[in-house]
Structure 1
Amino acid sequence: MATEQKSPTVREVLRSLDVFAGALPRFDPQEVPGTPQDLFTEWLTEAITAGVREPHAMTLSTAGPDGTPSARVLLLKDVGPAGWSFASHAASPKGQDLAATPAAALTFYWPLQARQVRLRGAVAPESPELSAQDFLARSLGSRAEALAGMQSRPLDDPKSVSAATEESLARLEREPDLVVPEWTLYTLAPHSVEFWQGDKQRKHTRLTYLRSGDGWDQQLLWP
């Protein structure tokens, strides 16, 4: 009689997965630039060159009025001296969170290089002009979805999504320069930015930039 083989448990499957496969890049904290923006740009460029999919994807974590955290993945729009920028409809859950608590965290993860970047700081909306520029640079479908303004609301009939989208597309065809007034470009000005480089032996390298006046201090952290 054949012995029945048991299927592995989820825990066993997770424990069997490989971590930090392949060659990992070198990271020397003694050779980093003076600002986290410059180091982030270097790492982002290397991720793009390595073929990381959606290297500009990031997790935005906000806090609701009751303090409950919420996280979702969206796309980085820009990075510069002022900070890291992203966009959203002001009436969306994340927009409402930011209106109540104008602070957030951003997390980037590039698995091919075992690299992670974590940011925390205050979030402020950009000018209506910059928000409009961002909106008009979006694809037609993305603008139509934002124009519908129904993100995260209860959906009783899936067919209503197509109907609302078609209505929005028709309006955008009539008014190609239409901008949703609630569309907002936000910028997170970090007070701390941590760069994490994974190591196969778990001797990870962690370097944090801490805001100090108009400049930055650097601090190594234990793995």
Structure 2
Amino acid sequence: MEDLRLLLRGLEVFAGELPAFDPSAAPDTPSELFTEWLLGAVAAGVREPHAMTVSTAGADGAPTARTLILKGVEPDGWQFASDGGSVKARDLAERPYAALTFYWSELARQVRVRGTVVPASAEASAADFLARGAGARAEALLGRQSQPLADLAERDTAVRESLARLEAEPDLVAPGWTLHTVRPESVEFWQGDKERRHTRLLYVRDAEGAGPGAGEGWRRQLLWP
């Protein structure tokens, strides 16, 4: 274990050229800045820049985290989808609140989103499901996420049967498939620095100041590293 500790301490962090971040020039809303950073990650060749950690908690307060793919970002929130029988779906039914974490290591950039979760309409959820690849739809139609599995052969057989079902009925939508929107209460942007002079900018929703104009409803605050 001591060898592992030494190995971990010796691993390089914040390697390469890191981008600059001037918080005074940040846009009025967090969705605008997030879009800039996401497109920057895409341009930099970051693998799976739309991957994010989604953290939820059920009625008992015990947290659970998993990695999902971002489905979209709008002025009113960040979107992901979930099978109706999954652990996260059960958590959200008991406590409709989530935290999202994006980390682009090549750029030493992290974004954290916290807020309430609102389900989309059945029509929007169905459209999201039908936009998935055939393999992803076939797996989701099984409705067995997180359930015990006897062996991999059982999985493969079930998926093959589900694919055949999709070929016969291409418009099938998994019951309970839901597109969720995290409506942010706070969004934090973190830019790493080789000398540990990290820059943190927090957007906090200001309900009293909310209004129809662009940028209204958000307060910005620098945080200590």
Same fold (TM over 0.5): yes
Provide the C-alpha distance between the structure 2 equivalents of 1:182 and 1:165, rounded to a whole number of angstroms: 19
Q: Is 1:30–2:24 an aligned residue pair?
A: yes
Provide the C-alpha distance between the structure 2 equivalents of 1:62 and 1:8, rounded to a whole number of angstroms: 33
Provide the C-alpha distance between the structure 2 equivalents of 1:197 and 1:133, rounded to a whole number of angstroms: 35
Provide the C-alpha distance between the structure 2 equivalents of 1:114 and 1:46, rounded to a whole number of angstroms: 12
Q: How many residues align?
A: 217
The structure 1 residue matched to 2:195, chosen from 196, 201, 218, is 201
Q: What's the offset of the Cα at 1:167?
A: 1.3
The structure 1 residue matched to 2:175, chosen from 158, 174, 181, is 181
Q: TM-score by structure 2 length? A: 0.95
SS in 1 for 2:196: coil
SS in 1 for 2:47: coil
Q: Which residue of 1 aligns with 2:50?
A: 56
SS in 1 for 2:111: strand
Residue type matched to 2:41 in 1?
A
Q: What's the offset of the Cα at 1:71?
A: 0.3
Q: Which residue of 2 aligns with 1:4?
A: none
Provide the C-alpha distance between the structure 2 equivalents of 1:61 and 1:17, rounded to a whole number of angstroms: 27
Q: What's the offset of the Cα at 1:157?
A: 2.7
Q: Is 1:47–2:41 an aligned residue pair?
A: yes
Q: Greater CA radius of gyration, 1 or 2?
A: 1
Q: Which moves more between the two structures, 212-221 or 42-51? A: 212-221
Q: Which residue of 1 aligns with 2:8?
A: 14
Provide the C-alpha distance between the structure 1 equivalents of 2:171 and 2:195, rounded to a whole number of angstroms: 54
Q: Which residue of 2 aligns with 1:120?
A: 114
Provide the C-alpha distance between the structure 1 equivalents of 2:179 and 2:148, rounded to a whole number of angstroms: 25
Gaps of 5+ in 2: 211-216
Q: What's the offset of the Cα at 1:8?
A: 7.0
Give runs of aligned pairs for residues 1-223 of structure 1, distance below 5 A. Answer: 9-213=3-207, 214=210, 215-223=217-225
Provide the C-alpha distance between the structure 2 equivalents of 1:120 and 1:8, rounded to a whole number of angstroms: 36
Provide the C-alpha distance between the structure 2 equivalents of 1:165 and 1:208, rounded to a whole number of angstroms: 44
Q: TM-score by structure 1 length? A: 0.95
Residue type matched to 2:68 in 1?
L
Residue type matched to 2:83 in 1?
H
Moved over 6 A (4+): none
Superposed CA RMSD: 1.1
Provide the C-alpha distance between the structure 2 equivalents of 1:131 and 1:180, rounded to a whole number of angstroms: 10
Q: What's the offset of the Cα at 1:112?
A: 0.7
Identity percentage over the alignment? 63
Gaps of 5+ in 1: 1-6
